[in-house]
Structure 1
Amino acid sequence: MKRRVQEHFRNKARQQGLSGARTREGHHGTRIFLARLALVWMLWIGLSIGAVLYGNLFCALLWGPFAFALGGYGHEAMHAGVLSYARGNRFLALITLDLAGLSSYIFTATHVPLLHHVYTNVPDKDPDIEVHFPLIRERFDQPRFFFHYAQHLYARILYTLTLPIIWVMDFVTAATGTWFGPWAKLRKPDTKETLLLLAFKPVALGLWYVLPGLLHGWAYGALLSLIMIGVTGLLVQATFAVNHQNPLAMNHDQRPSRHTRDRGIQKMETTADSSNRHWLPLLFFGGLGYQIEHHLFPTLSYSQLNEVAPIVEETCREFQTPYHYYPTIFNAFHAHYRFLKRLGTSEGKQDNR
């Protein structure tokens, strides 16, 4: 598969007349992709003005989807996928992730080299399937408590709290060098990154949590903040969840495999794509509809993954390897919450339903 994808990009570079180091330009964001970035960022700023300064509820409601779309660009910038130069990717992460209240430094340090991309869905390794417990049971080998019977219902509420929780945890991680307790030990930020953290965190706090209350009264301001931050958190957690925490991708250690579980096989068995046949849903779900391809080739821009996906799917079919795909995001959401319901009401084993 890797050889076929590399050959695809070599052929593409030859067709574009690129050679040498410039052949890697085809890995990054296309012109249309970058134009959408500029448009979405400007619209997000406009929605921020409408929601925060003018107290418009409609702008507050749209703020979350646009923030998450920009978060997709920031996430990709962390993987060096948007632009061909590191400083540009770092700046992009700052004006998308950090401006919304998430430290791109902490996210990069925990998400890319240490945890999720290395130990996807591996029990006691991947924090994405550990940090929600005991409030949410996501594995069959975790203890089940009485309140898990309703976890498929209250999970939605917990997901809305994602951004304020991460806002606090970024400080804890920067101070202690650990993420959510035992998960990952990372190098503490240097002086430059510490200053960036201390600069952007108060800005995000002031813009999205405090200023609405000062301008519109604390009750209405809290409503505006809840809508903006809550919708964003729900989209963030729900989308990451449907990619990895569903009956197709979870508890893979309880299923037989045709192949030795090397890195590539493990990525495909523990990841699912969804709703990636059109650019619009792909944009507003942060590019995560190509999650399989992203995990296999994390430095590629998701604007290039529509070319990679057919190669991956065909190779999986040829070697009889799972390729998990939900046709719509609603199918994926339904599968995730149904999976949570089964985990909350049964001690049963994986059945892939």
Structure 2
Amino acid sequence: MLTPKFAHVKQSFHVELKKRINEYFATTGKSTTGGIRLFSKALFLILALTYTYIQLVFFTPGVWVALGLCVVMGLLVASIGFNVMHDGGHGSFSRSTAVNKMAAVTAEVLGASHFMWNMKHNVIHHAYTNIDGIDDDIDAKPFLRMASTQEYLKMHRFQHVYFVALYAIFHLYWVLFSDYKKYFSGKIGDMPIKKMKTADHITFWGFKLLHYALFFIIPIVVLGFTTWIIGFSVVTVVTGFTLSIVFQLAHTVEHTEFPVPAEDGRLQDEWAIHQLKTTANFATRNKLISWFVGGLNFQVEHHLFPKISHIHYPAINKIVKQACQEYDVVYVEYPKMYHAVASHVAFLKQMGKQ
């Protein structure tokens, strides 16, 4: 498949959007990074995860309290991914490159390779959102059919039911298989990854060993295999489902599009319009959800301006919406999270039809 090429237009909507957003930051004098609000949130989440881990492994409480803490731990792992790793990976956590790197590396401790995430998410997904054969985020073959251009199998008739189980094992799949598949194949889907340097190889294997030590070996030695497997299962199921559903609500819903390049690889729209057609927001007025998911419910703003911290999404959301109204550009947003979940289920059901 040819690498898709976006349309070039004389009056670029992307240029107009960047102009307005730049004016906002110039007028307010704010930095585009997270600042103290994001630093304090990151510190809270990391300390909360550390405390929960110590309590579960070394001061294991009663069964029901322990199971509750396992649920909390799963949510904390996901939230660190949303808030710390994600902003750090995009370079929007801090003005400091070193601090951004440290934030991004939290992915490694929690079981995911930052190098592979950067290639999969920043390089491929953000550039070619919802393009089948390129965007790895919609490649769940053969279990899920995420685009009308993908092969239909009879089991897809029930994917709107069994997707829950698949999302629940997503984190485990990531930790035990996904990164290694990319590492040894040298590809993400059909797209080759950039050549890894010696430091990248050392980081990859070193942090994999650290993760297994923290979340497999030490708990098994201290708690025993049975207690560990029960607790770990709860943590990984909560983490996997939370990560999966939040990211899927951003692109695989009824009102987003899945553009197909022409034979010469050209796409109909310029890049910004493509992002608006393939991306959706949800529950943007819910401050608790926005805090927990690191602004990823403002997915439209994130895809248009990935190097701006999610701390600023509520403000620039108004600017982007206004521009879309003026230029008659599509803007997909679901008022409540359950509206987006219902739309995702309906989308899966639609894709489950031949």
TM-score bucket of the superposed structures, by smaller chain: 0.7 to 0.9
In the alignment, residue 238 of structure 1 is paired with which amino acid? I
Alignment of 1:110 with 2:117, yes or no, is no
Could you say which residue in structure 2 is the equivalent of 1:12? 28
Q: Hey, what's the Cα distance between the residues in 2 that align with 1:6 and 1:49?
A: 44
Could you say which residue in structure 1 is the equivalent of 2:215? 208
- Per-residue deviation at 1:206? 2.6
Gaps of 5+ in 2: 1-16, 61-65, 262-266
- With over 3 angstroms needed to count, the CA separation of the structure-2 counterparts of 1:169 and 1:328, relative to structure 1, is same
Could you say which residue in structure 2 is the equivalent of 1:314? 322
Could you say which residue in structure 2 is the equivalent of 1:40? 45
Contact 1:176 1:188 in 2 (8 A): no
Alignment of 1:29 with 2:43, yes or no, is no
Aligned pairs (5 A) from 1:136-285:
136-167=144-175, 168-180=177-189, 182=190, 184-252=191-259, 261-285=269-293
- Per-residue deviation at 1:232? 0.6
SS for the counterpart of 1:288 is coil
The one-character-per-residue Cα deviations of 1:208-263 (angstroms, maximum 9, x if unpaired) are 23433333332231111111111111111111111001111143559xxxx96110
Superposition RMSD in Å = 1.9
- Residue number among 61, 75, 81 corresponding to 1:65 in the alignment: 75
Structure 1 stretch displaced more, 328-337 or 289-298: 328-337
Q: Hey, what's the Cα distance between the residues in 2 that align with 1:47 and 1:275?
A: 28
TM-score normalised according to structure 1 size: 0.87
- With over 3 angstroms needed to count, the CA separation of the structure-2 counterparts of 1:79 and 1:191, relative to structure 1, is same
The size of the alignment, in residue pairs, is: 326
Q: Hey, what's the Cα distance between the residues in 2 that align with 1:210 and 1:154?
A: 31
Contact 1:174 1:188 in 2 (8 A): no
Gaps of 5+ in 1: 14-24, 348-353
SS for the counterpart of 1:276 is coil
In the alignment, residue 249 of structure 2 is paired with which amino acid? V
Q: Hey, what's the Cα distance between the residues in 2 that align with 1:137 and 1:105?
A: 27
Contact 2:120 2:136 in 1 (8 A): no
Alignment of 1:2 with 2:18, yes or no, is yes
- Per-residue deviation at 1:67? 1.1
Q: Hey, what's the Cα distance between the residues in 2 that align with 1:64 and 1:85?
A: 29
- Per-residue deviation at 1:267? 0.2
The one-character-per-residue Cα deviations of 1:180-206 (angstroms, maximum 9, x if unpaired) are 4x2x21123212222222221122123
TM-score normalised according to structure 2 size: 0.87
- With over 3 angstroms needed to count, the CA separation of the structure-2 counterparts of 1:279 and 1:33, relative to structure 1, is farther
- Per-residue deviation at 1:153? 1.7
Could you say which residue in structure 2 is the equivalent of 1:76? 87
- Per-residue deviation at 1:276? 2.3
Q: Hey, what's the Cα distance between the residues in 2 that align with 1:200 and 1:142?
A: 35
Q: Hey, what's the Cα distance between the residues in 2 that align with 1:143 and 1:260?
A: 24
The one-character-per-residue Cα deviations of 1:270-307 (angstroms, maximum 9, x if unpaired) are 00011222432112223211110011011000001111
Q: Hey, what's the Cα distance between the residues in 1 that align with 2:326 and 2:168?
A: 41
- Per-residue deviation at 1:314? 0.9
